[in-house]
Homo-oligomer: A and B are copies of this chain.
Amino acid sequence: MVLWMIGLGLGDEGDISVKGLKAVQQSAYIYLEAYTSILPGLDKETLAAAYGVQEILEADRELVESGCEEMLERAKDQEVCFLVVGDPLCATTHTDLWLRARQREIPVRVIHNASVMNAVASCGLQLYRFGETVSIPFWQDGWRPDSWYDKILKNKRAGLHTLCLLDIKVKEQSVENLMRGRKIYEPPRFMTVRQALDQLMEVEKAKEMGVSTGLAFGLARLGREDQVIRAGPVEQLAEAEFGGPLHSLVICADDLHELEQEFAKHYQL
């Protein structure tokens, strides 16, 4: 019948659109994507109560990676909602779902919403001046990827800002539990501005291309009432308090426009 892909925006249960809420309330099954972009504090029970629906199912890592078979099967002859934090098509995982639904000739309706990709405008930097977005992953053991450094550098050289999305680890298994096939998950981890900047400063030490000089913005809980935005040089920003997740980071172009400077002053440490 129809698969609704509905963005929940950035903040809380009130960020769904009026149209999205209507679709939720008329659907037979409602799934909450709880794998790539969880919002701390926003669980399926809270949402169900706020939306006035009986039950919201969790689309966890297993369901999503196994292709959401059950969900697609149900969407063939019923209205099914897939709720995604942010915008439903901003993450690759979900564009894939869109494709598979279409291949089965299930109509898909997308309800867009705010995502960090546009709400980052809150820090006052001009959106059109952002270059390629990078993801900074948690380093672990011998695995210390740093290609994101080169991309930030490329943006900087082109006079562009860089939005850095920080790693989220949800429903990860320890190697031991994975080997033994035990579905025991580690507690979720969310990279902080501090951790991202520490990694940045380490790469800077090795590469010395000047990515960590100049202004950066740290953003926490963007779009929520308790959002925190701070601007400053990397070393100072690493010491700033941001509170709970989610955090993001912006590395600025070397020069700021006049209006951007005005904003930066408001957020300066």
Contacts and interface: CB of A to CB of B under 8 A. Distances in A.
A89 B121 contact: yes
Nearest to A123: B89
B21 A18 contact: yes
A17 B9 contact: yes
A176 B155 CA distance: 44
B9 A112 contact: yes
A11 B19 contact: yes
Interface of A: 7, 9-19, 21-22, 87, 89-90, 92, 95-96, 98-99, 102, 110-115, 117-119, 121-122, 124, 126-135, 154, 158, 160, 165, 223, 259, 262-263, 266
Contact of A132 (B7, B131, B259): B131
Contact of A95 (B9, B15, B119, B263): B263
B87 A118 contact: yes
A70 to B, nearest CB: 22
B87 A114 contact: yes
A244 to B, nearest CB: 19
Given A16-B18, A92-B259, A154-B158, A112 B119 contact: yes
A127 B133 contact: yes
5 contacts: A14-B17, A15-B17, A87-B114, A87-B121, A114-B115
Q: Across chains A and B, which 7 residue pairs bring their CB atoms closest together, nearest first?
A: A14-B19, A112-B114, A89-B121, A128-B133, A112-B119, A117-B118, A14-B18
Which of the listed residues A113, A259, A263 has the most CB atoms from chain B within 10 Å of its own CB?
A113
Contacts of A102: 266
Contacts of A158: 131-132, 154, 158
B131 A131 contact: yes
Contacts of A114: 7, 87, 112-115, 118
A259 B21 contact: no
A89 B18 contact: no
Contacts of A131: 131-132, 158, 160
Given A10-B112, A18-B18, A99-B124, 11 more contacts: A13-B18, A15-B18, A89-B119, A99-B262, A99-B266, A110-B122, A117-B117, A118-B118, A127-B133, A128-B133, A131-B132
A227 to B, nearest CB: 9
A95 to B, nearest CB: 6
A143 to B, nearest CB: 21
Given A112-B10, A158-B154, A266-B102, A132 B129 contact: yes
